[in-house]
Amino acid sequence: MNTFSELCNSIFEQATCDYHIKDNVDICIENPYTTQTIEFYLYSKNWIDAVQWHLEDIIRDPEIKPERAIVLKRRIDKSNQDRTDLVELIDSYFLEKYNHIQISHEATINTESPAWAIDRLSILILKIYHMQQEVLRKNVEINHQKTCEEKLHILCEQQKDLSVAINQLLDDIERGKKYMKVYKQMKMYNDPSLNPVLYKRWQKY
Q: Would you say residue 161 lies in a domain?
A: yes
Helical segments of 60-141, H only: 66-97, 114-136
Q: Would you say residue 197 lies in a domain?
A: no
Q: Would you say residue 49 lies in a domain?
A: yes
Q: Would you say residue 73 lies in a domain?
A: yes
For residue 205, pLDDT over 80 is answered with no
Q: Would you say residue 109 lies in a domain?
A: yes
Mean pLDDT, to the nearest integer, of 153-175? 98
Q: Would you say residue 205 lies in a domain?
A: no
Dihedral over Cα of 60, 64, 66, 69: its sign: negative
Q: Please state the domain count of the chain.
A: 1
| Residue pLDDT, tens place only, 188-200 | 776 778 788 777 7
Closest CA to 14 of 6, 24, 25: 6
| Residue pLDDT, tens place only, 78-98 | 999 999 999 999 999 999 999
Range of the domain at 167: 4-187
| Residue pLDDT, tens place only, 115-157 | 999 999 999 999 999 999 999 999 999 999 999 999 999 999 9
Integer angstrom CA distances of residue 46 from 85, 150, 177? 13, 24, 29
Q: Would you say residue 128 lies in a domain?
A: yes
Q: Would you say residue 200 lies in a domain?
A: no
